[in-house]
Amino acid sequence: MKKKIISHLKADNLPKIVDISKKYKTKRKATAQGTIKFTKESFKRISNLKSSKGEIKNISILAGIIGTKKTSELIPLCHNISIEAVDIKILTNSLSNTMKVTCSVKTSARTGVEMEALTGVSIACLTIYDMCKSVDKNIKIENIELIEKYGGKSGKFIKK
């Protein structure tokens, strides 16, 4: 039985960037999400989505978009690809004292945008934390994960 080699490692276990030169350009989309959990008291204090640093939602969306575009600068073996669309949504839930952040990214490239979607969510969540930490340092960022992807050789993935 042949051992499967991790795509970013050569046979001698040295790092490599994956050769995508022979792959076809296809339309690709990936969506990731994450949750920010607050205490009831701190959620109530930021319920107007403002902090001493400014308006939380729009600043976090902008930060997530910038993070998406800079993914290849942050993650060493990611390809620098053309980002054609980024859509970040932040939904608040007062029953669970949470904000759910989703980031969808589209491209027509030779490789996918999963890492860009995950980076966008992570940066948006970290920005929310940064803007709200003066209210409560017990804020939790949870469950950052890929929830779906389309396109490319591996096709469609939807988280179960």
Q: Are 133 and 72 in contact (CB under 8 A)?
A: no
Residue 59, classed as helix, strand or coil, is: helix
Residue 109 located in a structural domain: yes
Say which residue, 9 or 103, is predicted with more confidence. 103
Residue 53 located in a structural domain: yes
Residue 129 located in a structural domain: yes
pLDDT for 44: 87
Residue 49 located in a structural domain: yes
Number of independent structural domains in the chain:
1
CATH number at residue 136: 3.30.70.640
CB atoms closer than 10 angstroms to residue 19:
9
- pLDDT range class, residue 152, cuts 50, 70, 90: confident
Q: Are 141 and 126 in contact (CB under 8 A)?
A: yes
By percentage, how much of the chain surpasses pLDDT 70?
90
Q: Which two tokens stand for residue 80?
A: 């620098």
Residue 3 located in a structural domain: no
Domain extent for 103: 26-153
Active site residue 12: no
Catalytic residue among 12, 19, 87, 130: 130
Residue 117 located in a structural domain: yes
What is the average pLDDT score of the chain? 89
pLDDT for 141: 98
Query: Can you give the pTM of this predicted structure?
Result: 0.88
Alpha carbon 135 to its chain's center: 25
Mean pLDDT (whole number) for 79-107:
96
Residue 91 located in a structural domain: yes
Residue 37 located in a structural domain: yes
